[in-house]
Structure 1
Amino acid sequence: MKPDFRAQVAVLEQRRGALLQEVGALPEAQLTFQPMSGAWSIAQIIEHLLLVEGGIVERVTTRPPRAVRIRVRDRLGYAAVWVALSYGLRVKAPIQSVMPQKGITLSDAAEQWRSILQTLLAHLEVMRDEDLSLSVFKHPIGGPMTIAEALLFITRHFDHHLRQIARVRNSPGFPAMAAENVRE
């Protein structure tokens, strides 16, 4: 694997583990609490993260990298995505396929993340140097991305939703931890 990616993937893996450990201690009422109508619960946020990351890794690993002409619109979209993710702006998911639907258990989430990670790592190991500057994924707003940009997007997108989880937990009406669930 390219050394630049090893550290990035390790950081993401550590953050996922920390998130799963943190939310694993929450009761069902907290995992499924929606701060307002139409807002996502913590469980829905985790499902969304899996849908996005799984979709990106599926595209990266099943479609050959390709040279694309970067248009002005692509660069403006790319900048807009980074601003939204960096400043925690609330935006709607740009495509229906990454909207949470059925919910997911935390054990299923952990297993899916392990599978996504293994698939990604295996692909990064065999990626050719000449493919590093080619587009491997096209974001609906941000346009074409190289593997480095796609990995950075996954990380920043994850961090963006960590802030969203914190907002959910700090929302008025967030269920209190039942006495039997409080850990010493």
Structure 2
Amino acid sequence: MHPQLKPLLSEIATARTRYISTVTQLTEQQAQYKPTPEVWSALENTEHLFWAEQGGIWGMWRALEAYRQGTPIWSGELTNRGRSIEDVIEQTWQPKETVPANAAPRLGGTLAFWCASLASLQSLLKAFSYAVDGEDLDAIIHPHPISGPLDIGQRFAFLRFHIDRHRRQIGALFTNDL
């Protein structure tokens, strides 16, 4: 496993566990609660997290393979080089962003299904951590649709940030802090 990713992988696992623990305390009715049509329910947040993370992991694998082939997927300016993910988000995100279509909740279903699906992604991240061992993580760039070019370490930090962000949004659903 790449030594730089080991603590980040652990942080993501902790964030994922906190998130799933939070939403599994909800009834199915609570999980579908929407104070307004434009606000996502806990179920929609969970489905979104799955699609967004699955796409991000797929993109990191794609970026790794392209890097190894000598044809990196990013060749532009590295505007986020050396910045924390919190700083990147603060500088690039609006208070309410429009989700890319591939990360939007679209199937519905049960909270239990989406929680199990989200939990399953941890093993993909772990496998990627082993696959990228020995590589220069700063040189492998997978751009985020809103934030732009992120290296692999930043991408891992983003996953933790993103999970925590949606956990707080779900908490706000039931405290009127939206």
TM-score (norm 2): 0.79
How far off is 1:159 after superposition? Answer: 1.6
Runs of 4+ in structure 1 off by over 4 angstroms are: 78-81
Between Structure 1 and Structure 2, whose CA radius of gyration is higher?
1
The answer to whether 1:157 aligns with 2:162 is: yes
Q: 1:114 Cα deviation (Å)? A: 3.5
For 1:71, the equivalent position in structure 2 comes to: 77
Measure the CA separation in 2 of the matches of 1:51 and 1:139. Answer: 14
Say which structure, 1 or 2, has more relative contact order (CA 8 Å, 6+ apart).
Answer: 2
Name the counterpart of 1:52. 52
Q: Residues of 1 paired with 2:19 and 2:119: CA distance?
A: 14
Structure 2 unaligned blocks of 5 or more: none
1:49, 1:158 within 8 Å by CA — same for their partners in 2?
yes
Classify 1:67/1:97 alpha carbon distance in 2 versus 1 (closer, same or farther; 3 Å).
Answer: closer
**Residue 21 to residue 160, structure 1, CA distance change in 2 (3 Å):** closer
Report the CA distance shift for 1:154/1:119 in structure 2 as closer, same or farther (over 3 A).
same
Q: Which residue of 2 aligns with 1:182?
A: none
Match of 1:115 among 115, 120, 124: 120
Contact persistence 2:31–2:111 (CA under 8 A): no
Question: Within the alignment, does 1:141 sit opposite 2:146 as a pair?
Answer: yes
Cα distance between partner residues in 2 of 1:18 and 1:97: 25
What CA distance in whole angstroms lies between the structure 2 residues aligned with 1:17 and 1:111? 11
Return the TM-score normalized by structure 1. Answer: 0.77
Q: Secondary structure at the match of 1:159?
A: helix
Among 79, 82, 99, the residue aligned to 2:89: 82
The secondary structure found in structure 1 opposite 2:127 is helix
CA–CA separation in structure 2 for the residues paired with 1:19 and 1:104: 18
Aligned to 1:22: 22
Using the alignment, how far apart are the partners of 1:48 and 1:85 within structure 2?
20
Q: Number of paired residues?
A: 168
Identity, % of aligned pairs? 23
Q: Any gaps of 5 or more consecutive residues in structure 1? A: 173-184
Structure 2: distance between partners of 1:25 and 1:85: 33
Structure 1 residues 21 and 94 mapped into 2: Cα distance closer, same or farther (>3 Å)?
closer
- Aligned to 1:133, the other structure's residue is in SS state helix
1:56 CA displacement: 0.4
Alignment-derived partner of residue 106 in structure 1: 111
Q: Counterpart of 1:108 in structure 2: which amino acid?
A: F
SS at match of 2:34: coil
Report the AA paired with residue 108 of structure 2.
G
Instruction: Tell me the amino acid that sits aligned with residue 90 of structure 2.
Output: V
Q: 1:16 to 1:104 in 2, by over 3 A?
A: farther
Alpha-carbon distance, 1:46 to partner: 0.9
**Aligned-residue offset at 1:84:** 6.7
